[in-house]
Structure 1
Amino acid sequence: MVDYSKWRTIEISDDEDDTHPNIDTPSLFRWRHQARVERMSEMEASKKALKDKRNDLHNKLKEAKQKAKQNDNNESKEEMKKLEEELAKLDKEQEELDQKEKLLPWNVDTISKEGCNKTVINKPKPRADRSNLSEEEQEKFYKEFIKKNEEKLKHFGMLGKPEDCKRYLMENHDLVCEETANYLALWCLNLEIEDKHDLMEFVAKQVVSMQYILELAKQLDVDPRGCVSSFFARIDKADKEYKDAFEDELRAFKERIRERARIRVEQAMKEVEEEERKKRIASSPGGLDPEDVFNSLPESLQKCFESRDIQLLQKTIAEMPEEEARLHMKRCIDSGLWVPDANSKELLLGGEIESEDNSEGIYSELKSN
């Protein structure tokens, strides 16, 4: 059974307005409140004094027990007995005081106790500033960030619905930063290079969304993590002009990715071609690129090498001016396009040369034949 009797003895609150018209109500309330506060102060003082006295007796009793162990005599026992009796009296006084306090009527100050007192004021968080970091420190930070969050970044890049994107970023606030936009942009570039055009366009939308969030944070001068909800709310409720601007930026970003991918592919092809050219030059007898030499030959000589026709080659050489023929022969030998076989005395088209430069002898032999 719940005892509700306590509620019948609640003192009139300070804001009670049911008083006689001739009574100065504010003064009456102040007097009531002052009298109640004084009674409560006296009660607290009595409780504190009794508590201090009991603690003091407990300490004395503890010392007396230690002395009794060391000196087993009647004097120590008498002192210990006297202290125990005084402590018993104080315990009884404590019980009476607790009972008296329990019977006091409740009032506005005692009817409830404050459970907690905490005031939280939401303030915009300042934007994280890493501009003072050196290039090495920024690169180190980026690598550590990617190593820690790469799986989350790819998951975010594959999300399609705005509500899913918002929820994921709210759950993973660390992803709302410049490093995420950079990683996703680089991923888009790699996808375009790999001819995965549809997937590139899908991820590109996440890049532009992150860039919009970062730009919004920059304008408000707050941490980007506090702009996630604002951005998606604006996208969800934006007018046609705002959405068109977003789509225009998305199209422009995808065009930049395509152009950058084209340049990357061209650069990669040039690097491969240059590497192959260096290998051809390294393996040539005289340090000339066979492909460059072939492209510089007259069309008639090019046909001879393409058809690998020795008789046509002899005829073409015979019809050319001697000085021009000697020049082309020397360059072909130095590049490895012409390789004389010392045993058969016949001209081989392509291969490795093991003898000294003998373009004069080959020219004379071709001419005579």
Structure 2
Amino acid sequence: MFGRRVRSIMHNSVANFVGVTDLKHPCVLFLSRSSHSELPRKLKKCERKPWVTSVNELKRIARLEKQERQVVQEVTLSPPENGLLIKGLVPVAHEVFAARNVLFACVSRVVESIPIYLCSLCGEVHVGHPPHKIKTCNVTGSQTNKEHIWKRGDMEDVLPVVESFHLYDRLGRAVSHNERLQVDRIPAIVELCVQAGMDIPEYPTRRRKFPVYRVAGRVIDFERRFPEDDSSGKEINPFGFWEERKKSIEDKESLHLRYDDIQGFAVRGIEAWEKMRSGASKLMQKYSVQTCGYCSEVQVGPKGHRVRQCQEYKHQMRDGQHAWQEATIDDLVPPVYVWHVRNSQEGGLLIDGLKRYYGKLPAVVELFAQAGGHVGENYIGLMREDVALPALDEEKWVV
């Protein structure tokens, strides 16, 4: 009876406070206003990455393809499955490539002013000075108190580069194990731009004039029957196929910033980061990218390679082959999440006792944020700046 009376009083108080008299669940008012968002859970070594497409859907597609192979008829494919480019995505490929160049230029400049720290045991990254005191080093050989052993990091620690085999013909056969040292490996996002229409003289690729067809599961390539000179793609106009070809503005212009304008580099860097990721996501909706379900290997193209170099969970059962599946943007451009420092100018030290009040950000975004760049709204839930940070002696009174 007493508990029912207390709930009735709380219900009436909340209703009078918000001006609503018909409430069944007043606690929803407080839960719905929380802007906190959780990071993806760190997978165990025995766990596979989440599937982008469900397993049942993949089985259904496989059954349909099996039925098509049993019927001997010509199947017309659409770009890019038929070997041709998607004209509307060629400018996007140029924009992604230009944004990547701007991003690397900005990161290389800001890193000279803001230090990067790397744990020599577990590989955790911290942006800014001093490095945090959060005890999360839990690997073989770590200290008993789980504290990190810091050393100076570099640009590659905040912006890692994922490589992929460069394919001259993305519809050709996969790279075999014996060819692993003969085929060039380039950044995966650059390979994605090349396959989407970006022409780089150092990495030639085949541009078809005639589409390929599929008959009973086999690909019929008419350009092989009637060989012609391969088009290098020089006639492709990234800004329209009916106008005179112009060189991309991003390739010509420099950043036009003073060397000591760190905030300017940070602002341009965040814009380039967002443009590169959003553009790459658009390309990945049409151009397939494969990743291993257990390791970080990525292959841009409709199928993965056959190089036996996987050393993760149960690789012996696969003879070292990768467990290929559809990749996401985080596989192509991995965000290294680091602890977010709210008052970087004051040299705030992050301590282990208050770690549940701290937020996280991708290392590149945190680097630019400490340099004066504006963080977008999609990272507000990760930063957790709306959470009041108590003093260390007040933390025990927090409910």
Which structure is higher in RCO with an 8 Å CA cutoff and minimum separation 6? 2
Structure 1 or 2: more helix by fraction: 1
Bigger Cα Rg: 1
TM-score norm. by structure 1 comes to 0.21
TM-score norm. by structure 2 comes to 0.19
Structure 1 or 2: more strand by fraction: 2
